[in-house]
Amino acid sequence: MRSILTVFLLFVSAPAFADMDEARQAYDEGHWRQASALAAAEGDAEGLAFASRALLAQLMIELDYPDRRRLMRDALRLAEEAYDADEESYLARRQLAAAIGFKGRFMGGWRAYVQRIPQRGHRMLSELIAENPNDAWSVGLMGAWHLEVIRRGGTSGESMLNASIDAGIGFYSNAIALEPDNLAPRYYLALGLMALDDPARREMALEQLQAVLDLQPRDAFEAGILAEAHLLAALQHDHRVAAEWANERMEG
């Protein structure tokens, strides 16, 4: 009887594993909507978090997507559903922190502050990093949080939210050390510094940009990052133009 039950459980669970395998393959190939739908069909925290991740990847790579605000809302909804499915899930909490960060990009800085969007994101990321300081994605997201707060809020962001460029660089540098072959933290560090157009940190931005150009993408998301890096590199000789492009790139 036990062996029959075991075979039955393996049989009924096989499609779920197959769906996630197919979702990951679709993600690697840049089929974001397909990846999201397959992962969401799982219905659990991991699947819903991955479904949200796929839509955020599309949001970050396909800059000409016609309804970016709706795409952001869909990604946020899936992240919230993942969190509701399992509030203890590390992946669900990390994805929700990432989605909340993108929600803030579609809002004015003061409105986001009043609604405590950056405060909530920082709290969640702090908890995630305390739980797993070796997770490059959470560490990198914290780097992005600091640079984005400074980019949008300047000295007000420093005083009101305790953000700093040095902290952003530090978190990004830790993420790079944890995953040296990951294009994302290197590129978004370079992009964030270019957007700030700080002469003192321009050399660091160019070094990380060159490092991205020297790496090989491992999936469609990183291939999209590499394509963007080439565009930014073509503008590097005019820091004002590069800064303008980087700022436009980082808006919602």
> Which tokens belong to 185?
């933290």
Instruction: Tell me the C-alpha distance between 111 and 103, whole Å.
Output: 11
Instruction: Tell me the C-alpha distance between 249 and 228, whole Å.
Output: 10
Residues of the chain with pLDDT under 50: 1-14
What would the pLDDT profile of 200-236 be if each residue is shown by its tens digit? 999 999 999 999 999 999 999 999 999 999 999 999 9
pTM recorded for the entire structure? 0.90
- DSSP classification of residue 164: -
Q: Nearest-5° angle of CA 83, CA 185, CA 147? A: 80
- DSSP classification of residue 201: G
What would the pLDDT profile of 37-54 be if each residue is shown by its tens digit? 999 999 999 999 999 999
